[in-house]
Chain A
């Protein structure tokens, strides 16, 4: 029996006459990573703000760590840590001072080791006494997260923790998130990066224009779209016509002059396809083997780029 760290039912929120969240239901078991995936403006940050007591919902119930965010905000706050969308570090203070500030404001006992340990753990010891303004984007993010961890929160909210980071810093952040999980915390993560959700999350919910359009494990979501396929792009409609005729089960896109053919992506089956094209002296300008990733899932579910997917 697992317990819910976060349980949301029927969450609605509008700003003026603009509906931002239109009936969200979700459930995050304790000790797991939950990822809310969506493009800019989907309502991710508003969701985080409601879940972290910063914004009041118009309707629906939200329980975090077993407490209602509307009526027991204090109890919720003492159980959570939040790293917002922008690294909320004090740039005029040093890394050490930023962490000490959190210690001073938390109910934890003032112990020099808390700050030192966090600086060590996040690889910031060397820069500890420099102003945070001099830190790189990745270092700021790490400091931000370290500050969030000062009170030993059981549930951590990370709002787009890797947006704007270079690939190496992203991987570092991913490693840190996995370590947190190993310590038994629950993580609620928002991201616009599909590979990030794929890498980290136990459960993913796809948010689009204030609604959840899909929810499940990364594998379940991937199952909702067509499998591996090979894609050809041709130089003319005539070539596309011919290819579509000779390759069974293919799906064509006349605008892009592309043809997608189901295939397992193995050398044998790809060779068969290429041989078939050669038989008819067809030359494809472009050729690629595509395994479905969350991008495909996202496009399929939100319909923002339906050309390829609807045709299945």
Chain B
């Protein structure tokens, strides 16, 4: 008997490789959105710095979120098609079943952010982050990927059908647009502005932005870290309890 976590992860990775739609959504869509905002519309935004430098951190976050729809759908079809029941009856640890999905999701995220960073440099991205700050950027993105990954797995387990599961992840894809990802929050209208200022993605984006231009703000970093941890814990607890209950 092999290590069930590795067996499950290998299965999830095969899924991603064989499902072009999920790769398209997770990797190509963020790149397309980035080209649209930076290359096409970028000159129209005045944010005080070259737009590619302003937008790249938000695009990293977008790249994480775009991969989530496929994860929710994949988890849900495992559930509704009885595959999770099969694993349960075989006594596969629930950690292995769910962690496989989360780790595969984070790995897709990493490919997507590599693509985004590559495109950013091609568009003239000029960060001033030190090596340690780059590591912190990657660390924060991975942490965000884990947190939203667990939340998405919970959504996927909870939803009744794969379609609603995919739909349930839409808010996570939309949320970056209502943050400081595209334009600074204080340029937005009343209501949206306050929302953008206090929603979790804004401190995460501000942290990434600070790290990439070499001057991170401690307040942002603490808030970003706390949000990620909070989302991860909620997602994890929700996912494991739903996994136990649903048959």
Contact = CB atoms under 8 A, between A and B. Distances in A.
Contacts, number: 66
A82 interface: yes
Contacts of A101: 7, 11
B92 A105 contact: yes
B92 A84 contact: no
B7 A105 contact: yes
Where chain B touches its partner, the secondary structure class is helix
B81 A86 contact: yes
Contacts of A55: 247
A74 B7 contact: no
A263 interface: no
B81 A88 contact: yes
A54 B92 contact: no
Given A92-B14, A92-B19, A105-B1, A82 B85 contact: yes
Interface residues of A, number: 32
Contacts of A147: 86
A105 B14 contact: no
A156 to B, nearest CB: 11
B89 interface: yes
A92 B89 contact: no
Given A93-B11, A106-B90, A88 B1 contact: no
B2 A54 contact: no
Contacts of B247: 49, 54-55
A311 B89 CA distance: 47
Contacts of B1: 104-108, 110
B160 interface: no
Contact of A97 (B14, B86, B91): B14
Given A55-B247, A104-B2, A131-B18, A86 B82 contact: yes
Contact of B91 (A74, A84, A104): A74
Given A87-B81, A87-B82, A90-B83, 13 more contacts: A77-B90, A78-B91, A84-B85, A88-B81, A92-B14, A93-B11, A97-B14, A104-B2, A104-B4, A105-B2, A105-B90, A110-B1, A147-B86
